[in-house]
A and B are shown apart, each in its own frame.
Chain A
């Protein structure tokens, strides 16, 4: 993977993938981290590097062919500050007196690796030296630099050929069907040549001999009947094979698409949360839905269509050349030219489509802006203006569409004309030779058969010429089709290639019962591998204890619960549950003892009953009501017309934040978990609702180990113990009374603030 990253930096970003060797030699051992700094003070793109070692910050600026070096001892540094500009950042490193020691400028492309460097410097200022990092500096640099690219691009720089090969491996289980479909297609192609040949035969070997009296009327009629039977039989066979091909391939295509869909969806569920953090929901959805559909299209039709077209073109040319070499060559030789013309046309159309798409997105922007914002539009009475804006964009779009239509409508007739031109050429060169043949024949020449062109062959030619059009068309569109399919396949494979970060060990322990004792032992956690969000956190929670987690926004409260839920694994240290390391527990059995009410409660589309029953689909209806009562949700649910069967979620009746929270509490209650995690929404709710939620919580916590992340004083004050988290560290812990007795404590400040707010709120 590392190797891959290197080539991505150099090939895609066109810049050095790592610190140059010469600089490594100059610095020597102990490089902790580094980053390229890409702008000069005059805003030219340059290559300079900042390198961190335990005690120094080294800066290298390329000066002609040598490197100018500047070394700053970390003990002299007092601050390192990043200043944001429109499209660049500036890092100012200054000493105690405020004098600037170093100013670095870099484009936003370098900001991720640079902000790590800044982070490390700032930590270093506190410690007196720059601390070690777990990963190799090359690895960190490349990963950080590539992150934005990796998050928005699925393509791992693989070639389309590899992707198609891989896609073909999905056909393996269906070898039989593929063979059958392929055979059907091949037979169909070959059979489609028969009518043309038969026509020629009829003229040369039936009509002509009859005309010259070589065969009798009766014989002629007999052969003629045979020909008709053969023609009819050919058509029946051909359509039979067409049916075989279409049916087997489209059904098989569905199987392949189903396999892919199943595999992708299942794989997604196995992936860790960190995978989903970085991607947009829409793009993930489309990988399971529309991408697999496109792949079906390609597998079911594309592959066969293209190969039969190629087969048909070759056999056609072969047959024509076989029938008559000069005329056959004359017809086949221009085919590559025609293909090239179609390809060129395709390129041109692509540009036109792009233009249209651009204008199309302008139009849809208009819609997606004003429809959700209709209230504002109406409030300011801007309806008419919005309408004329829409009309204007619509008119521009019309122009684009019309130019697309102009382009393709004028291209195809021209192409057809060229193909018809070939037919005319066949006539032009063929007819004199036919006449030559007929003359020689009439004169009774011995070798009449080899002179000129027989009428039958000529007719066959004319018939075959009409068959050239379709395969040429298909092959012309091949590039686009393959492009579409491979890009879909790319996106699907990207998901499949990810491996889960949180995995069960082979000998995972299954817990039948759980007491609910949780201990954090020196837990450190980082999302990105460098910046720790939790730092050396240690605490122990007894079974049945209710813990309130308090701390400023971003201090790491949700992260703590994420670790207990095992959404992520700790970076170092360990979390134990009932004395077992969390990593050694079977995730499924552990989670059956866990109930979570998320900070932003999510309800699935469906009715309230289904939403509450999500965790326990077989729960008794009475239990559901009981759970809703515990969660204080029953009352409001019954005010809705359809009671528990009211549709909620994305498109249904929208519930308020407090209501959603209570439904999700009911969901957690129904599961009857030993460990309960409550991440209280930050948004404030009115006092009445707050009281209701509080009552629900009070009922909920009995007999469970509870982690309540709370923003409201009422929730926290009732906890057995309160942990105060600040910057990922445990700064205070104790009961409400103990903590409030310390007048300078963080908790006391928090409480004072809350009380004041409540006073303002009335």
Chain B
């Protein structure tokens, strides 16, 4: 049954989400009820940058896909809240609110930023450029593969913004 749900993600097909429930707890994380059985699960967006709230792949602890949730609105309120909470973790990126400085040195670019999680200094290679998505959204991936997002280029502040604009 689980297979048939994920096998054919035909457009607009209505999966019956009535028997699928989610819950979230600090202790156990995300849990999903599929076919009457509760089990621990994880959620991974198929398009983490393009469309992080849609097309969510729900997998069990062995990373086997249980179900593909196309839209949150398919779920009941309780479930979508639980899923939201879990998503917070799986799509977490450092959100940059201020760029204090961007400095190029011998072979690294050093970024000194303030994020919603706290201040951070990170590095990218000189030849690695930030990725610009539409609507002034910018993604940066550092040497350690950590990801940083600037939600709106026009709203970010700091002395380094001028330099950032040269990089995009």
A interface residues (Cβ-Cβ under 8 A, vs B): 12-14, 39, 41, 43-46, 81, 83, 85-88, 90, 92, 99-100, 103, 105, 107-109, 111, 148-149, 152-155, 351-352, 354-355, 358, 361, 486-487, 490-491
In the complex the two chains form, what is the Cα distance from A131 to B44 in whole Å?
35
Task: Say if the beta carbon of B5 comes within 8 Å of chain A.
Answer: no
Q: With A83-B42, A148-B143 in contact, is A14–B121 under 8 Å at CB? A: yes
In the complex the two chains form, what is the Cα distance from A86 to B93 in whole Å?
7
CB <8 Å contact, B107 and A43: no
In the complex the two chains form, what is the Cα distance from A487 to B105 in whole Å?
8
CB <8 Å contact, A154 and B107: yes
B contacts with A, residue count (CB < 8 A): 44
CB <8 Å contact, B89 and A351: no
CB <8 Å contact, B143 and A149: yes
Chain B nearest CB from A166 CB (Å) reads 14
Task: Say if the beta carbon of B7 comes within 8 Å of chain A.
Answer: no
Partner of B147 from the list A86, A90, A149 (CB cut-off 8 Å) is A86
Chain B nearest CB from A678 CB (Å) reads 36
CB <8 Å contact, B121 and A13: yes
Task: Say if the beta carbon of B90 comes within 8 Å of chain A.
Answer: yes
Chain B nearest CB from A559 CB (Å) reads 26
Q: Give every chain A residue within 8 A of B167 (Cβ-Cβ).
A: 354-355, 358
Chain B nearest CB from A157 CB (Å) reads 9
Interface of A is mostly: mixed
Chain A nearest CB from B96 CB (Å) reads 12
Q: Give every chain A residue within 8 A of B88 (Cβ-Cβ).
A: 43
Q: Give every chain B residue within 8 A of A39 (Cβ-Cβ).
A: 117
Task: Say if the beta carbon of B26 comes within 8 Å of chain A.
Answer: yes
In the complex the two chains form, what is the Cα distance from A550 to B46 in whole Å?
38
In the complex the two chains form, what is the Cα distance from A282 to B12 in whole Å?
48
Chain B nearest CB from A420 CB (Å) reads 32
Task: Say if the beta carbon of B55 comes within 8 Å of chain A.
Answer: no
In the complex the two chains form, what is the Cα distance from A491 to B148 in whole Å?
29
- Closest B residue to A489 by beta carbon equals B106
In the complex the two chains form, what is the Cα distance from A490 to B115 in whole Å?
32
Partner of A155 from the list B61, B89, B107, B117 (CB cut-off 8 Å) is B107
Q: Give every chain A residue within 8 A of B29 (Cβ-Cβ).
A: 90, 92, 100, 103
Q: Tell me the residues in window 113-127 of chain B with beta carbons closer than 8 Å to chain A beta carbons.
A: 115, 117-123, 125, 127
Q: Give every chain A residue within 8 A of B142 (Cβ-Cβ).
A: 109
CB <8 Å contact, A487 and B106: yes
Q: Give every chain A residue within 8 A of B110 (Cβ-Cβ).
A: 12
Q: Which of B48, B89, B110 counts the most A-chain CB atoms under 10 A from its CB?
A: B89
Q: Which 6 pairs from chain A and chain B are nearest by CB?
A: A45-B118, A87-B147, A155-B106, A109-B144, A487-B106, A355-B166
Q: With A148-B143, A152-B107 in contact, is A87–B92 under 8 Å at CB? A: yes
Task: Say if the beta carbon of B28 comes within 8 Å of chain A.
Answer: yes
Task: Say if the beta carbon of B161 comes within 8 Å of chain A.
Answer: no
| Beyond known contacts A43-B92, A354-B104, A491-B106: 18 more, CB 8 A cutoff | A12-B110, A41-B26, A43-B89, A46-B118, A85-B89, A87-B146, A92-B29, A107-B144, A108-B146, A109-B144, A148-B143, A148-B144, A351-B166, A354-B166, A354-B167, A355-B166, A355-B167, A358-B167
CB <8 Å contact, A153 and B42: no
- Closest A residue to B122 by beta carbon equals A109
Chain B nearest CB from A668 CB (Å) reads 39
Q: With A152-B125, A154-B106, A355-B166 in contact, is A86–B143 under 8 Å at CB? A: no
Q: Give every chain A residue within 8 A of B91 (Cβ-Cβ).
A: 85-86
Task: Say if the beta carbon of B162 comes within 8 Å of chain A.
Answer: yes
Task: Say if the beta carbon of B1 comes within 8 Å of chain A.
Answer: no
CB <8 Å contact, A361 and B129: yes
Chain B nearest CB from A237 CB (Å) reads 42
28 contacts between A and B (CB under 8 A): A44-B118, A45-B120, A85-B90, A85-B92, A86-B92, A86-B93, A87-B147, A87-B148, A88-B89, A90-B29, A90-B89, A100-B27, A107-B94, A108-B145, A109-B122, A109-B142, A109-B146, A148-B143, A148-B144, A149-B108, A152-B108, A152-B143, A154-B107, A351-B163, A354-B163, A354-B166, A355-B166, A358-B129
CB <8 Å contact, B147 and A155: no
Q: Give every chain A residue within 8 A of B119 (Cβ-Cβ).
A: 14, 45
CB <8 Å contact, A361 and B127: yes
Q: Tell me the residues in window 67-126 of chain B with beta carbons closer than 8 Å to chain A beta carbons.
A: 88-94, 104-108, 110, 115, 117-123, 125
Q: Tell me the residues in window 127-149 of chain B with beta carbons closer than 8 Å to chain A beta carbons.
A: 127, 129, 142-148
In the complex the two chains form, what is the Cα distance from A92 to B40 in whole Å?
12
In the complex the two chains form, what is the Cα distance from A13 to B146 in whole Å?
13
- Closest A residue to B147 by beta carbon equals A87
CB <8 Å contact, A487 and B107: yes
Chain B nearest CB from A104 CB (Å) reads 12
Partner of B166 from the list A88, A109, A152, A358 (CB cut-off 8 Å) is A358
Q: Give every chain A residue within 8 A of B127 (Cβ-Cβ).
A: 361
Task: Say if the beta carbon of B3 comes within 8 Å of chain A.
Answer: no
Chain A nearest CB from B87 CB (Å) reads 10
CB <8 Å contact, B106 and A88: no
Chain A nearest CB from B77 CB (Å) reads 22
Q: Which of A87, A99, A490 counts the most B-chain CB atoms under 10 A from its CB?
A: A87
Indicate with 1 or 0, residue by residue over B8-25, a CB within 8 angstroms of chain A CB atoms. Answer: 000000000000000000
CB <8 Å contact, B48 and A86: yes
Task: Say if the beta carbon of B50 comes within 8 Å of chain A.
Answer: no
Chain B nearest CB from A219 CB (Å) reads 65
Chain A nearest CB from B55 CB (Å) reads 14
CB <8 Å contact, B146 and A12: no
Q: Give every chain A residue within 8 A of B108 (Cβ-Cβ).
A: 149, 152-153, 155
Q: Give every chain A residue within 8 A of B42 (Cβ-Cβ).
A: 83
In the complex the two chains form, what is the Cα distance from A13 to B144 in whole Å?
11
Q: Give every chain B residue within 8 A of A44 (Cβ-Cβ).
A: 117-118
CB <8 Å contact, B144 and A108: yes
Chain B nearest CB from A384 CB (Å) reads 24
Q: Give every chain B residue within 8 A of A109 (Cβ-Cβ).
A: 122, 142, 144, 146
Q: Give every chain B residue within 8 A of A153 (Cβ-Cβ).
A: 106-108, 123
In the complex the two chains form, what is the Cα distance from A103 to B24 in whole Å?
14
CB <8 Å contact, B147 and A81: no
In the complex the two chains form, what is the Cα distance from A351 to B103 in whole Å?
11
In the complex the two chains form, what is the Cα distance from A92 to B26 in whole Å?
12
In the complex the two chains form, what is the Cα distance from A490 to B105 in whole Å?
11
Q: Give every chain A residue within 8 A of B94 (Cβ-Cβ).
A: 87, 107
Chain B nearest CB from A681 CB (Å) reads 29
Q: Give every chain A residue within 8 A of B105 (Cβ-Cβ).
A: 155
Q: Give every chain B residue within 8 A of A13 (Cβ-Cβ).
A: 121
Q: Give every chain A residue within 8 A of B147 (Cβ-Cβ).
A: 86-87
Q: Give every chain B residue within 8 A of A354 (Cβ-Cβ).
A: 104, 163, 166-167
Q: Give every chain A residue within 8 A of B92 (Cβ-Cβ).
A: 43, 85-88
In the complex the two chains form, what is the Cα distance from A487 to B108 in whole Å?
11
In the complex the two chains form, what is the Cα distance from A429 to B118 in whole Å?
61
- Closest B residue to A45 by beta carbon equals B118
